[in-house]
Amino acid sequence: MFALVDCNNFYCSCERLFRPDLKQVPMVVLSNNDGCVVARSPEAKALGIGMGVPLFKVRDDIKRHGIRIFSSNYTLYGDISARVMQTLEQFTPRMEIYSIDEAFLDLSGIGKLDDYGRQIRTTVKQHVGIPVSIGIAPTKTLAKLANSAAKRFRATRGVVELCDPRRQQRLLAITPASDIWGIGRNLTRVLQRRGVKTALDLARMEPHRARRLSSVTLERTVRELNGENCIALEEATPKQQIVCSRSFGEKLTDNREVREAVCEFTARAAEKLRREKLLARMVSVFIRTSPFDETGTGYGNTATGTLPRPSSDTLEILHLVSRLFDMVWKNGGRYAKAGVMLGDFCSPDILQLDLFDTGTDHRRNDNLMRAVDSINRDGRGMIRFGGQRPRKDWFMRQEHLSPAYTTKWNCIPVVK
DNA sequence: TCTGGGGTCCTAGGACCC
DNA sequence: TCTGGGGTCCTAGGACCC
């Protein structure tokens, strides 16, 4: 049984903690360059300000309705998020922090779920001052749905417990398929063409058909809507990628200027890497013109390279970044955005084994069993197959979550 | 004029191997 | 002459999330 706890209008709620006078006043928080609206108070939502709209498009509405605007303060939001999460930890032994303002809680074995949810809500409000909504259901996808119902219907007073299959069906029937977690713009179109409109239509789809139509992710969604657990709780998984990228305030055309920006991103990314106590092997650089720029033909390019050895040293990484930058650079572009990505991490703490491709002999299994032993002993580690990163579904298979995930591998422990 | 930043996961396809 | 099946590893690109 899962609960999804989600902070209401998180960034706005954070700003209001220190400005109680802004209660009931319509307000929005803007993205980095004050480009887009990234959070809206309920009053601003009611005035029709959309999520993610560029500021220039709603400037008139803002003036007309006296909506207050704030630049974002991520240090503050991160700090308040940490306090919310600390408070939530008291309610469960297992929890997944899903984003800055959301967490899944494992509530297995708890009796009166609705009461428990209300208790969580009250405690967070008292301790931190942030209002939250809570959805409780047997799978993560249904918990997401329950959460959105808790937000949508006032009568629920912020908590929806969705364990009864009949209630699940009723809610699914009045929810468009596009509101389901994992169904984006594209899948909505694909589904609609096949007459799948409501979430209930989607739930009634044959799982194998869902897989053929799209991929295993859609199959999981369908199964989850029917109460079959396919997406496991992930407690503190290590980072797999670090990205530093930014849209430029004004378009850049000069090689030197863009190169400088990319150097800065590299330094920041390497800093994050060191803070995580990780080493990277893969480095990518990308630049692109604005997709909204109609003055020229659009251009974007990415180059990826491997470091001579795993590293978190800014200069070592910069050396490669500089070469990659030369590969992606093209004269004459009006560049709007650039970024640096680091990936394929390793750490001294992680046990690594390269297993042989054997086929007939049993070295692979022997190695695997030895690795499992040592992981069980130390409580931490990772098994790599010939340098390949273990994939998500291997983990799923090991858990025997569903017969849909059968494989030739018998047992692939990933991270413990 | 002004359009976020930071992530994850999946699939396809090519090169290569036995 | 026949031109396989099964696998690894890597990359690009698409889709989705908050």
In strand B, the nucleotides that come within 7 Å of a protein beta carbon are 1-11
What does the pLDDT read at residue A224?
94
What does the pLDDT read at residue A175?
97
Strand B within 7 A of A56 CB: yes
Nearest residue to nucleotide B6, by CA–C1' distance, is A243
Overall average pLDDT of the A279-300 stretch: 83
Distance in Å from B13's C1' to A283's CA comes to 23
Closest CA to A375 of A351, A401, A343, A340: A351
Strand B within 7 A of A239 CB: yes
Amino acid residing at A367: N
What does the pLDDT read at residue A297?
72
The closest nt to A55, taking CA to C1', is B2
Query: Tell me: the pLDDT tens digits for A136-164?
Result: 999 999 999 999 999 999 999 999 999 99
Query: Tell me: the pLDDT tens digits for A319-370?
Result: 999 999 998 998 888 899 999 999 888 765 444 433 333 333 344 444 454 5
Query: Tell me: the pLDDT tens digits for A378-391?
Result: 444 444 443 333 33
Distance in Å from B10's C1' to A215's CA comes to 7
CA–CA distance, A237 with A246 (Å, rounded to integer):
26
Domains of chain A: 2-159 (3.30.70.270), 164-226 (1.10.150.20), 241-350+357-378 (3.30.1490.100)
Return left, alpha or beta for A407; rule: phi > 0 is left, psi -120 to 50 is alpha, else beta: beta
pLDDT band at A189 (very low <50, low <70, confident <90, very high): very high
Distance in Å from C14's C1' to A382's CA comes to 28
Distance in Å from B3's C1' to A293's CA comes to 10
Q: What is the maximal distance between C-alpha atoms in chain A?
A: 75
Mean pLDDT of chain A: 83
Query: Tell me: the pLDDT tens digits for A30-78?
Result: 988 888 999 999 999 999 999 989 998 999 999 999 999 999 998 899 9
**Whole-prediction pTM:** 0.79
Distance in Å from B10's C1' to A171's CA comes to 29
CA–CA distance, A181 with A392 (Å, rounded to integer):
18
Query: Tell me: the pLDDT tens digits for A249-260?
Result: 888 999 999 999
The closest nt to A247, taking CA to C1', is B4
- Per the model's pLDDT, the better-predicted residue between A43 and A407 turns out to be A43
Q: Give the CA radius of gyration of chain A.
A: 24
Strand C within 7 A of A96 CB: no
Strand C within 7 A of A357 CB: yes
